[in-house]
Amino acid sequence: MTIRTVARWGSRAIECYGASPTVRNCTFDFGSGPIYCTDASPIIEGCTFISCLGAIYCDGAGPTIESCKFTSCSGSYGAAIYCTNASPTIKDCIISSSSAEDYGGAIYCEEASSPTIDNCLFTNNSAQIGGAIYFLESTSTISHCTFRHNWTTPMSGGAVRINESTVTITNSIFEGNSAQSAGGAINCSHRAELILNDCFFGRCSAPMGGALSGVARHMAISNCIFAQNWASETQQWHISEGGALAIGAGDMANCLFIGNSALNGGAVVGSGCGDITISNCTFAGNRAFQANTLYACTPTGLDKLYDCLGGNISITDSIIWDGQDTIVNGEDDRTITLAFCDVSGGQSSVHDPYDCVTWEPSNIDADPCFAEPGYWDPNGTPDDANDDFWVDGDYHLKSQAARWDPNAGRWTIDDVTSPCIDAGDPLDPIGQEPFPNGGIINMGAYGGTTEASKSYFGEPLCETIVAGDINGDCEVNFLDFHLMALHWTEEH
C-alpha cells in the first residue's frame, strides 16, 4: 500500500500495527505524532515533517526512513524520531531546528534499539542532553553523517549522548556543536562503548571536552582529526579541561590534534578512570594555560562515583609539537610513559612533580618538518589571544624520497627529510606504508598508513623491488636480516 497525502493539525495520521505500508512523498504539517508504528516495518520515503510534535514513533520491528526532511519538530524525547526496541534504518535524511525538552533533539533510541543511521544531516537541533541524538541501552551504527551547530542546555552531548550503549561512528563530521557541561560533540556514560573512525571534529566546545568527553568502559578512536575545538568556561561550570578530549580511558591511533585550546590540557585531559594509549598521533599548535598537549588529573565529580581507580598513559610513535609546556602530570599514582616520540622541548617540556613519568631514551627533540605547519593568527590584536583563530596546515612529513600531497593528489619530493621518518618503534608493524619504507614505522598520524612519507637513503629513490630487501634501499644486507628477526614470531 502506498499513501500520498497532506496531513495538517491532526494527530496520528498513520498508525501501523504489525503492518508494513509504504508511505511516500507525504507532507505532515503541525501533526501530533503523525506516524505511529508498533511491531511494524513501514517504508517511509521522501516525506516532509514540519513542526510536528514527535514525528515518528517506532516500537519493535525495523522501519526504513529514507530521504525525509524534519524541520522544527518538538517533543520531550526524540522530537523527530523515537524508537524503543526497534531497528530502524535512517538514511539520506535531514533533521534541522528540532528540539526536545529532555533527551534527543532529533532522535531518541532506548531499550535494545539498534538503529542504522547513514548519510544524514543534523543541524541546529537541541535538547537538555543529546542535542541531536540520545542513545540509551542501544547498539547503533552511524556513518557518513554530518552534525552541525547542535547544542545542549544545560547538560552534555552537544550532538550525541551515549548512555549504556554501544555506538560505532565512521566517516562523519562534527562542526560547531556545543554543550553547556561536557562533550561539545559527544558525551559517553561510564557503561558506554564508542568506536570512532575517520571522523572530523572542528570548532566544537564545552567546559569539559570541547569535542568529546566521557568515562566510557571502552573507547577506540582512530584516523580522526580534532581541529580548533576548545574547552569553554561558563559561570555554572568553573572548569576548562580538554580542548579536544576529556576522557577516563581509551585508545587513540593515527589521529591529528591541531589548534585545540583550554585552560588545562589544550588537546587532552585524562581523568584517571583507566588506561589511555596514544600511538601514531600528531599534536601541533594546541595551547593551554597548563599542559598544551595533555593534562593527567585526579578523578573528580561524577568520575569518583564510577569507581575510577586510576590508570596509566602510554604515548608511542607520536609527534608532540606544542611548545615548551606539553604534558603535566597532576596525579601521584599514575604512570605516563613516552617512547619513540618527537617532543618539542624534550623532557624539559614534561612537568612531573610526582616523579611518575617514564621518559625513554628513544624520544627525540627535532623539527618534524611538517609539509606546512598550521598557526594561530592573532587577528590584528597580538596582545589579546581571545580573538585568535587557527589556520590549518598539512602535517605530512617532508621527504627527499617523496611525501603525499593531499591538495595536489600526488607524491611530492622535498629538499629535506623529516627525522620522524623511520623513527618509530622497530617492533611495531609498518602497516600500509608505501615502498621504500625503511622497514620501520614513521612517527606521527600518517605512520603505518598509505600516506606515510617514504624513506630516503641519501641517493635517488630506489624503484626496484629486490627479494629480501626489507627496508627498500635496494640492498640485501645485515640490516634487512635484523628487521626481519625483530618480527620473526609475530602475526599481523
Q: Where are the domains of the chain?
A: 1-150
**In a 3-state reduction of DSSP, which class is residue 10?**
coil
Q: Is the dihedral of CA 433, 256, 368, 364 positive or negative?
A: negative
> What was the pLDDT predicted at 464?
60
- Residue 360 CA to residue 447 CA, distance in Å, equals 20
- Residues recorded for the chain: 492
> What was the pLDDT predicted at 298?
67
> What was the pLDDT predicted at 61?
82
Q: Which three cell numbers stand for residue 302?
A: 561524577
Output the CA–CA distances (angstroms, integers) from residue 304 to 21, 70, 471, 491, in the order listed: 50, 40, 49, 39
Backbone angles phi, psi at 484, to 5 degrees: -65, -40
One-letter amino acid at 327 equals I
Query: 341 and 359 in contact (C-beta within 8 Å)?
Result: no
| Cβ-Cβ contacts under 8 Å for 392 (sequence gap 6 or more) | 227, 258, 259, 374
* DSSP state letters, 73-116: -EEEE-SSEEEES---EEES-EEES-EEEEE-SSEEEESS---E
DSSP state of 480: H
| Cβ-Cβ contacts under 8 Å for 486 (sequence gap 6 or more) | 426, 427
Burial zone of 72 (CB within 10 Å; 0-12 exposed, 13-18 middle, 19+ buried):
middle
Which residue in 91, 92, 109 sits closest to 100, CA to CA? Answer: 109
Q: How far apart are the first and last CA of the chain?
A: 52
SS3 content of the chain, % helix, strand, coil (to 5): 5, 40, 55
Beta-bridged to residue 382, according to DSSP, are none
> What was the pLDDT predicted at 44?
95
- Residue 463 CA to residue 473 CA, distance in Å, equals 9
Single pTM value for the model: 0.92
Give the chain's residues under pLDDT 70. 1-12, 234-238, 298-310, 332, 459-492
Largest CA distance in the chain: 81
Output the CA–CA distances (angstroms, integers) from residue 201 to 320, 360, 380, 430, in the order listed: 19, 31, 26, 27
> What was the pLDDT predicted at 465?
61
CA dihedral 80, 84, 88, 90 (to 10 degrees): 30
> What was the pLDDT predicted at 457?
84
One-letter amino acid at 466 equals V
Q: Which three cell numbers stand for residue 24?
A: 511516500
Q: Which three cell numbers stand for residue 382?
A: 597580538
Q: Which three cell numbers stand for residue 45?
A: 520515503
Beta-bridged to residue 133, according to DSSP, are 107, 160
Query: 150 and 132 in contact (C-beta within 8 Å)?
Result: yes
* DSSP state letters, 240-296: -B-SSEEESSEEEES-EEES-EEEE-SSEEE-SSS-EEEES-EEES-EEEE-SSEEE
| Cβ-Cβ contacts under 8 Å for 215 (sequence gap 6 or more) | 188, 189, 190, 247, 248, 249, 271, 273, 274, 302, 303, 306, 308
